[in-house]
A = this chain, B = another copy of it.
Amino acid sequence: MSSSAPGPTRPDGLWLNDLSVGQTFRSDDYSLTESEIVEFASRYDPQLFHVDPERARDTFFGGLASSGWLTAAVTMRLFTESVPLACGVIGSTITLAWPTATRPGDRLRAESRIDEITPSSSRPDRAAVLFSYRTLTADDEIRQQTSGRVLSWNRPTDA
């Protein structure tokens, strides 16, 4: 019997059949260094407070802060590691907030939860799965609050 699921990227990972509302996931830690903060920002967000520890002191952040987009990138790494979806983590729409600034030395982890599973009306073998996830420090300060829908497919019956 054929399936419309795309080729899996992690065949042993989680299929839609394995997911349910309320399920939670927790990642390992990721330690963010000053040099990674400066390197990322030099390329993608070259603002004083992200690239120059000295001159950052007189800015809004009062010291070097990570680009929020590096926090988001690290969060994606933690999310893909801790939520091993069989066909990959394929997101479409995202909302995110950075309640506090990520700083050099932060040890970040991601904790995520499935809030909603919305089956496709036209193709019952797939669904949009709404995750909410938080990026936390070792002291449980929230660096990023995210919510996003990702696609998931049922395990092919011919597999």
CB within 8 Å of B: which residues of A?
6-7, 9, 40, 43-49, 58-60, 67-69, 72-74, 76-77, 80, 87-98, 151
Query: What B residues does A89 contact at CB under 8 A?
Result: 47
Asked if A76 and B67 make an inter-chain contact with CB atoms under 8 angstroms apart, the answer reads: yes
Listed from nearest, the 10 A-B pairs whose CB atoms lie closest are A7-B58, A44-B73, A6-B60, A9-B48, A93-B97, A95-B95, A47-B88, A69-B73, A44-B77, A45-B76
Asked if B87 and A60 make an inter-chain contact with CB atoms under 8 angstroms apart, the answer reads: yes
How many angstroms between the C-alpha atoms of A76 and B73 in the bound complex?
13
How many angstroms between the C-alpha atoms of A88 and B97 in the bound complex?
18
Asked if A88 and B48 make an inter-chain contact with CB atoms under 8 angstroms apart, the answer reads: yes
Tell me the number of copies of this protein. 2
Interface of A is mostly: mixed
Query: What B residues does A151 contact at CB under 8 A?
Result: 60
For the complex with contacts A9-B49, A49-B88, A69-B76, 8 further pairs of A-B residues with Cβ separation under 8 Å are: A43-B77, A44-B74, A45-B76, A47-B88, A59-B88, A60-B90, A67-B73, A92-B97
Asked if A98 and B87 make an inter-chain contact with CB atoms under 8 angstroms apart, the answer reads: no
Minimum CB–CB distance from A28 to chain B (whole Å) comes to 14
Q: Which residue of B lies closest to A65 (CB)?
A: B90
* Given A69-B72, A73-B69, A87-B60, CB of A46 within 8 Å of CB of B97: no
